Amino acid sequence: MRVRRTATALLLTAAALLGCAPLAQAQTPRATADFPTGTATAPDGRVLFADAHGQVVEPRGFNVDKYDETTEADLRSIAAHGFTLIRVAVSWNRLEPAQGHYDDAELAKLRRLLDWADQDGLLAVVDFHQDVYGPAFGGGDRGIPRWATRDDGLPFVPDPNDWFAGYFQPAVQAAFRHLYDDPDLRRWQSDFYTHLARELRGHRSLLGYDLFNEPFGPVSGDPSDPAVLAASAAQLEQGRLALMYQRLIGAIRTADQRSWLFVEPTVLVGEGVPTQLPGFTDPRPGQPRLGYAPHFYDTTVENGADWNPGDGFIEAYTAAITDYPRRNRMPLLVGEWGPPSAATPGNTELVRRQIAAMAGFASGWTMWYWCRGNGGYCAIGPDGQPATGDGPAFGPYAAVLAGLPSTESWAADRYTVAFTATGGWTELTAPPTARLTVTGSDRVQVDRRTPGRLRVRVPHGARVVVELED
């Protein structure tokens, strides 16, 4: 379960169908989206995933957090709700508990999870996860192993009320500096990434890898000064972190030429600070498969407050994250988002606003996270239904779009997409009661035979608007 952040830590930190012809010679519906082999650029500038048939693929889903606690039933339920993507957090510490020694039992658990994803038609992003570096600093068994931790004997004093403040402790700052700078640590980290890529390659479900969760590094000066934090983040992204990412891209590519590789900015992007990451080179033959994977969290909400719709968070975040992926022609996958509880009025509105915003800038997303309970980020309530306030995340969307969207939006339980059709099937996730409207063509085929799935086909070249309303 995600630990709550604090403000001081982050600082900046179809039932009715209008004008539609019946489906003739109905085909068996496809349950899932194809693996995206490339990209397509929409008229609004978004870089989107595209499959081998040239159709746009928009994966959405959930983080599953711990691979050993996630069950086959969990993945089956995610797929049954219409989602196509999971993000799986893995720990270097657990998979390689001693330098050069890999835990076969842990690797088997991870492979089993991907086997289930293969069977359920899901895609999976493997997230190399860390929080406050690793277990040497109270992070449980997750993160970078103790044998790869060098703290120069400097102090570490945890704050039980502010876990994120641990990043600013001298010992943690030293550990990150050594990870970025020491040749042997760099080599061991690259070896681990290569080994894991070799172990997992071949899974149909493997979309790719998130190279480093919420990267952090040395802060030069007083971390309570927002200007100092911004300058330190820029220095990290332009220097040490950029070098790490390019090295890890190369390490994975020695074993896997197929997967997508995603880079993350620092967490300051959540406070409207644009990334200073450079572009990266993908050594795979053909079109690069590199993506951008920022997180979408509001600091005050992470600290337990109800969201204030007037705080400008959505607007500042959107402005901060759109330029980099468009300039570098990278799809944007929001790796984590969602409040600790969406039941309060402000946080209910926050979920709505985030869904609406991501329809305009994201290529896909994974919400934090899939679990059943009351609060604690759980997207499913005790009754097995979407948690209070999280309903919009389960709303209709186009998992596969047979055309480039000129506009795409979600508002007031209505999903709308306008596009020029390429003649294939557009596949929409929608409840059985969803009302479908298609304008712009009088030749529309509709297939509703798969529960939770609605397929629509219009002639090649038709300029249409498709609306789905819960």
The pLDDT score that the predictor gives to residue 138 is 85
Cα-based torsion angle of the residue sequence 271, 276, 279, 283 in order, rounded to the nearest 10 degrees: -80
DSSP state, 386? B
Domain boundaries along the sequence of the chain: 7-13+17-469
Q: Which class for 293: exposed (0-12), middle (13-18), buried (19 or more C-beta within 10 A)?
A: buried
Give whole-number Cα distances, 211 to 260, 333, 423, in Å. 10, 13, 36
Q: Compute the distance between CA of residue 213 and CA of residue 88 in angstroms, rounded to an integer.
A: 11
Contacts with 193 (C-beta within 8 Å, 6 or more apart), sequence order: 128, 209, 211, 248, 251, 252
CB 196 within 8 A of CB 90: yes
What is the average pLDDT value for the chain, to the nearest integer?
91
Angle at 11 between CA 263 and CA 363, to 5 degrees: 30
Task: Tell me the Cα Rg of the chain.
Answer: 22
Q: Compute the distance between CA of residue 265 and CA of residue 235 in angstroms, rounded to an integer.
A: 12
The pLDDT score that the predictor gives to residue 18 is 29
CB 26 within 8 A of CB 447: yes
Q: What is the DSSP string of 261-327?
A: EEE---GGGGGT-----------SSSS--EEE--EE--HHHHTTPPP-TTS-HHHHHHHHHSHHHHH
The pLDDT score that the predictor gives to residue 448 is 87
Q: Is the peptide bond before 369 cis (omega within 30 degrees of 0)?
A: yes
Contacts with 427 (C-beta within 8 Å, 6 or more apart), sequence order: 29, 30, 33, 398, 399, 400, 453, 454, 455
Q: Compute the distance between CA of residue 442 and CA of residue 371 in angstroms, rounded to an integer.
A: 43
Q: What is the DSSP string of 344-373?
A: SHHHHHHHHHHHHHHHHH-SEEEES---BS
pLDDT < 70 stretches in the chain = 1-33
The domain made up of 7-13+17-469 has a fold known as TIM Barrel (3.20.20)
Order the strands of the 206-210 sheet from edge to edge.
Answer: 290-292, 260-263, 206-210, 123-128, 85-90, 60-66, 364-367, 333-334
The pLDDT score that the predictor gives to residue 162 is 86
Q: Compute the distance between CA of residue 48 and CA of residue 363 in angstroms, rounded to an integer.
A: 5
CB 441 within 8 A of CB 426: no
Residue 188: both structure tokens together: 């061991």
Quick count: other Cβ atoms within 10 Å of Cβ 171?
A: 19
Nearest to 373 by CA among 362, 361, 386: 386
Q: Compute the distance between CA of residue 131 and CA of residue 196 in angstroms, rounded to an integer.
A: 20
Give the pairing of strands 295-296 and 364-367.
unpaired
Nearest to 469 by CA among 433, 445, 427, 443: 433
CB-facing half-sphere around the CA of 196: CA atoms within 13 A:
31
In sequence order, the β-bridge partners of residue 445 are 457
The pLDDT score that the predictor gives to residue 33 is 62
Give whole-number Cα distances, 298 to 8, 15, 306, 450, in Å. 13, 37, 10, 37
The pLDDT score that the predictor gives to residue 32 is 62
SS3 content of the chain, % helix, strand, coil (to 5): 30, 25, 45
What's the predicted TM-score (pTM) here?
Answer: 0.93
Q: How do residues 433-464 score in pLDDT, each as one tens digit?
A: 889 999 999 999 999 888 888 999 999 999 99
